[in-house]
Amino acid sequence: MFKIPVLVSSFTLLLAGTLCLLSPARAHEDHPAITKSAPYSSITAQDLQAMIEEKPELIIIDSRGENYFDGTLIKGAKALSAKETNEETLAALVPNKATPIVFYCTNVNCPASKIAAYKAEKAGYTSLYKYPGGIEEWQSLNLPVTHVNAE
């Protein structure tokens, strides 16, 4: 008879402890997006088209990893996976930390561009954008792409 309340109390304590570990106060250590405002502005395909025309210094980075990269890029973009994005690889592509950079990946469900943008912010870059529609939306709108060898 006393085993059920003890079991429920133990479960409640375990659940409470787990929730404390997963609370936003601790979650930001591994995933800053949970508690911190984004270091980038989200843009639409139309916004990106305008930026391409109006900002010749713009750098566009495809953040997809090797498992998702099929060799198709938004015209003018460079491939740099989120996994490989760091201060050194960014400096090789974008020496000036004030240069506008747009990150994109596959689609709105892909986290790679968000991860890459956070890494860029950590490296000191200040003009960051994320195109959430990614290559899937870009192609569905019949906007210009290029193809490179996917290795």
Tens digit of each residue's pLDDT (9 = 90 or more) over 12-32: 333 333 333 333 333 333 334
Rounded Cα distance between 125 and 69, Å, is 24
CATH number at 37-147: 3.40.250.10
What's the pTM value of the predicted model, to 2 decimals? 0.75
Kindly list the domain boundaries of the chain, sorted by start residue. Answer: 1-32, 37-147
63 phi/psi in degrees, rounded to 5: -95, 10
86-114 pLDDT, tens per residue? Answer: 999 999 999 999 999 999 999 999 999 99
